[in-house]
Every structure is written in structure tokens, then in C-alpha cells.
Amino acid sequence: MKVSHEVPRCLLTAQREFNDYLYCLPHLLDKDEEYKKFFIEASFNGDYIVMDNSLHELGEAYDHQRLLHWVNELQPDEFIVPDVWMDKSKTLVNAKFWKQYKYPEKTTIVAVVQGQSLPEAIECYSILKDLGYKKIAFSYGADWYANLVPNENKDLAKALGRIYTIGFLRKNNIISSTDRIHLLGCSVPQEFGWYKNASYIESIDTSNPIMASIEGLKYTEQGLTFKPKANMNDSYNIDFENIDYKIILHNTQMFRKINGLAYIQNIPGTN
């Protein structure tokens, strides 16, 4: 599994020390000149880039025309087409609509499973495959996840609910061993260790270790039992002086350790 942790502006360049690929939020390309310059140069230099649609940050997918502009300008390796939070029908309408466009040759378009229950998620995933999507993503925070594996700790319940959902789909061959899955975000960082033998899960993106670091929280060997309150919307402009970079390095390496993922070697300050 390849991992990327979204970062505030002050860590744009530093993220190459701990990320396997770059994760781009397209609304920031229009909002922030430094961010735009970084990703244009990264594209030119051949960095692997996954471009999101900014649903999580904006509450709805970013502007249609600007997404089209940036997917052609940046030519990301992957582009997550617009989805609608916990709405299966509208997400499927979007997924079908975005299949009409011609994309850069290197770009894989990725669709997101949405719905309000396990049966809706099953239907959504199946239809996305029928539409021809070669890679499909599962978000982390759907309310109904917590109903599948009830727990007093709602963050843990949501993590367990996504584990259950993906396991159920795989057991019933709705997800095949050759499918390609991306996991969007997490409630608790130790969730991903439960997918250790799931070769169909290709990639993860989560800002969890970065947001925990901004709050001064250090991962333990068990991870965390709650989701940090800090988020990218509020933390994007934080000054580097207000971040303990040693905690950033600790958390990003510990994220890999607790989930049985390959370490990034020779990171300064982690020996």
C-alpha cells in the first residue's frame, strides 16, 4: 500500500521525506500561488500525483470547469471524480457523467463509493465497476459504518465498519483479488493494519498523523483511540514554527510501523 499524508503549506516540500506520492486538493490550486507552483513543478518532474475533487474540504466537489482545467493542466496519475457525500444515486449520476471526457493518457479516473447503508455501498461499488472504473475509493467517515460494528467509541466504530464493509465485499466476490482500491482518510490510524494481506488495496491518503502532530499528539505503538480535532481547513496556513517537526517524523513513521507498511528510509532525525 502506498501512503500519502496531506500537509499544510509549510510542509509542501518536506512531505517528500515521508510520503510515497503527492495528494493534490484542486481548490487550493486556484486559491494559493505557492501550492499551484509546487504541483505544476511536481507534475513536470514526474512525481506521482493523485488529484482529489475537494469534497471533504468544501462539503461538495469543486467547480466542474476548474476540475477539468486542472486535470488537463497537471495531468495527474489519478483523478478522483466528483462524488456526493452519502448519496448513492447522485454519486452514480456523477460517475457516469465524468466518463464522457477524454483524460490525459497517464491519468486513471477513480470513483468513490457512497451510500447510506451496506446494501447501498454494495450496489454503488458494483455499478461503478460496470461503468468501467478501474480504481474505486472508500471514504472513512460514513455514519452508517458505526452501525455495522457498534462501539461506544464512535471513531473506532467507523474504522471497524469500513473494515467490515470491505471484508464483506471481498468475501462475497464483489471485490475481486484483481480490483484496485483506494482508502480515503481514517478515523483512527491503526485501521490499515487489518488490510495487511489485501493486495487489492493499492493506496491510502490520510492527514491523521499530521493533524495529530499539530495538536502535539504522539502516536503510541497502538496508534490513537480518537480522531484529532485539527483539520486541513483550519491548519493549512499554520507557521512551521508552530509545528514540532520531530513529532511529524515520529507519527508518519509510527503510522507505517503500526500498520505493517514499509518504512521510508534515512529520514533525518528519526535514527
C-alpha cell at 72: 488537463
Around 180, how many Cα atoms within 13 Å sit in the side-chain half-sphere? 12
Sign of the Cα torsion 115, 76, 104, 200 reads: negative
C-alpha cell at 254: 509510527
- Residue 173 vs residue 269, higher pLDDT: 173
Q: Where are the domains of the chain?
A: 2-258
pLDDT digits (tens, 9 = 90+) for 45-56: 999 999 999 998
C-alpha cell at 121: 455501498
Select from 269, 256, 270 the least CA-distant residue to 20. Answer: 256
Report whether pLDDT(268) > 70: no
- Look at residue 264 in the predicted model and tell me its pLDDT: 65
- Look at residue 3 in the predicted model and tell me its pLDDT: 97
Report whether pLDDT(271) > 50: no
Report whether pLDDT(265) > 80: no
Average pLDDT over residues 57-77: 96
211 pLDDT band, cuts 50/70/90, is very high
Report whether pLDDT(253) > 90: yes
Tell me if 41 sits within 8 A of 34, measured CB to CB: no
233 pLDDT band, cuts 50/70/90, is confident
Report whether pLDDT(267) > 70: no
Average pLDDT over residues 122-133: 98
Report whether pLDDT(261) > 50: yes
The helix-helix angle for 88-97 and 118-130 (nearest 10°) equals: 10
pLDDT digits (tens, 9 = 90+) for 5-42: 999 999 999 999 999 999 999 999 999 999 999 999 99
DSSP alpha helices (H): ranges in the chain? 26-31, 33-44, 55-58, 64-74, 88-97, 118-130, 145-148, 154-171, 208-214, 232-235, 245-258
Q: Tell me which architecture the domain covering 2-258 has in CATH.
A: Alpha-Beta Barrel (3.20)
Task: Give percent helix, percent strand, percent coil of the chain, each to the nearest 5.
Answer: 45, 15, 40
Average pLDDT over residues 63-77: 97
- Look at residue 196 in the predicted model and tell me its pLDDT: 85
Beta bridge partner(s), residue 232:
none
